[in-house]
Amino acid sequence: MVRALAIDIGTTILRTGIVDTAGNLTHAHQHGLTIKTPNPGEVELDAREIAFLTLELARRTLADGGECEVVGITNQRASTIVFDPSTGEPVGPALGWQDLRTVIDCLVLQGEGLRLAPNQSATKAQWLVRHSGRAPQELRFATIETWVAWQLTGGDAHVSDHSNAGVTGLVKVGVDEWDEGALGILGLDIAMMPTLVDTMGEHGIARVLPGSPRITALIGDQPASLFGQCCITRGTKITFGTGAMLDTISGTTGPSTMTKFASGCFPIVARSRHGSLVWGIEGIVLAAGSCIEWLRDDLGLINAPGDTEALAMSVESTDDVWFVPALSGLGTPQWDFGARGGFFGITRGTTTAHLVRAVLEGIAHRGADLVDAAQRQIGATIEEIRVDGGMTANTFFVQSLANYTGVPVTVSPQREATTRGAGLMALVSAGYLSLEDVEQMWEPERVLVPQLSDDRRHEVRTTWAAQVARVEKTIPELSAVEF
């Protein structure tokens, strides 16, 4: 059986594991990433740490499980590194995709005809170059997959795949070349930029690893999860992590713009091979699992995330308590950065169980909002939702998602389908599996079907919309900001 080493650099955790041609994920290791927030809205990572941990965990996985033929790399998208190619040293911190220090820059650039969001790479790269004191042509730009490929190949490969390049704000609409006009406005240089490559292809030899396996897949984290949940020619998944991200296959016809659609969704590259791109759309909930962490770490209402299911089921309802999870604003479809979270309907009789149940139901409602937005965008009904991420261990939560969407929800057997997707994609790229093989691998851990009537679901969802309206524009100045 042929095997791939999967390297998964997430927002907070770096994972490695071995994925075989039967779709099994084994010999997994993981380590948390150091995240610094020196000022409000700033999120920094350590590029050197990412390089060190990648090698450390990859070597540990290979020592445990044996050498692999190929490597697949998946990563948090849009996090940005600028480094000196002569020394391999970064010129500053890695700026995380959540970093908002360039908000004002983005607003100023709108006046110059360049529409960028602060969570894209473009203005992060500008900031890093500006603060390096170096000429841009002396430096190199990297998103995380670019940086890791550079490290594994000993500096031989400076490449960025279509799925990651597509969310940088620095490519033309077809994601087939860097936008030199945008680079010029930002004070960047084409010499900085990596070679654009397919997600599936030959991306260099990982000569620093035992056996020197070939790197045959580079893919952003959400498209990797889509692939890991066997959505190949069609299909929709939602990953419930810190936030929640819905991705669905839309086809081979590209968009007319890489900016946000009226639905609140936006286009992504799901994968590419031999120069052909498969497109998808994505919708985002900004706060999902982070709400559970808030219940534990800041409110002290639970001891562990696993407590939430029993607490929620210990009461028959929320007793008309509602929670809107807008702790970081609202993403799809509203994109209201000035919205703030809220509990409504609290009385003297409200208990911890009611609050916890309201939080789980609120996150499920936001998942249903993503499905509604995606259906509007693609003009078709979504017939099944595949889910992964830590929150999907909670059956009450997943059942609530099925109830509010009116769609069967199938739970991934791998909580971290992203890691599995990177390994499977590497195997397909190298010819050890076909896309059809992967599509037929889907065997959900469990399936939950809706338990609400259509009339009752419509009633509940209408009430939910009214609660969301109550938190919108909490901070009007921020709500007026659009990217």
Q: One fold for both 3-221 and 230-411+452-483?
A: yes
User: pLDDT tens digit string along 218-262?
Assistant: 999 999 999 999 999 999 999 999 899 999 999 999 998 888 999
CATH architecture of structural domain 3-221: 2-Layer Sandwich (3.30)
Mean pLDDT of 437-461: 97
Could you give the CA distance from residue 142 to residue 192 in angstroms, rounded to a whole number?
9
CATH number corresponding to 230-411+452-483: 3.30.420.40
Q: Quick one: what percent of the chain has pLDDT higher than 70?
A: 100
The whole-number pLDDT of residue 226 equals 97
Mean pLDDT of the chain: 96
The whole-number pLDDT of residue 283 equals 97
Could you give the CA distance from residue 34 to residue 45 in angstroms, rounded to a whole number?
6
Q: Does 483 score more than 90 pLDDT?
A: no
Could you give the CA distance from residue 459 to residue 461 in angstroms, rounded to a whole number?
6
Query: Using 50, 70 and 90 to split pLDDT, how confident is the model at 287?
Result: very high
Could you give the CA distance from residue 388 to residue 421 in angstroms, rounded to a whole number?
12
Task: Quote the distance between the C-alpha of residue 201 and its chain's center.
Answer: 22
Q: Does 415 score more than 90 pLDDT?
A: no
Q: Does 385 score more than 90 pLDDT?
A: yes
User: pLDDT tens digit string along 17-68?
Assistant: 999 999 999 999 999 999 999 998 899 999 999 999 999 999 999 999 999 9
Could you give the CA distance from residue 27 to residue 16 in angstroms, rounded to a whole number?
8
Neighbours of 341 (CB within 10 A): 19
Could you give the CA distance from residue 70 to residue 214 in angstroms, rounded to a whole number?
5
Mean pLDDT of 154-162: 98
Q: Does 156 score more than 90 pLDDT?
A: yes
Could you give the CA distance from residue 374 to residue 410 in angstroms, rounded to a whole number?
18
The whole-number pLDDT of residue 216 equals 98
Q: What tokens were used for 177? A: 């070349």
User: pLDDT tens digit string along 90-138?
Assistant: 999 999 999 989 999 999 999 999 999 999 999 999 999 999 999 999 9
Q: Does 422 score more than 90 pLDDT?
A: yes
Mean pLDDT of 354-361: 98
Q: Which amino acid is at 431?
A: G
Question: Reduced to 3 states, what is the DSSP secondary structure of residue 333?
Answer: coil
Query: Using 50, 70 and 90 to split pLDDT, how confident is the model at 482?
Result: confident
Sequence ranges of the domains in the chain: 3-221, 230-411+452-483
Mean pLDDT of 266-272: 97
The whole-number pLDDT of residue 147 equals 98
Query: Using 50, 70 and 90 to split pLDDT, how confident is the model at 481?
Result: confident
Three-class SS of 236-295: EEEEECCCEEEEEEEECCCCCCCCCCCCCCEEEEEEEECCEEEEEEEEEECCCHHHHHHH
Query: Using 50, 70 and 90 to split pLDDT, how confident is the model at 372?
Result: very high
The whole-number pLDDT of residue 242 equals 87
Mean pLDDT of 187-209: 98
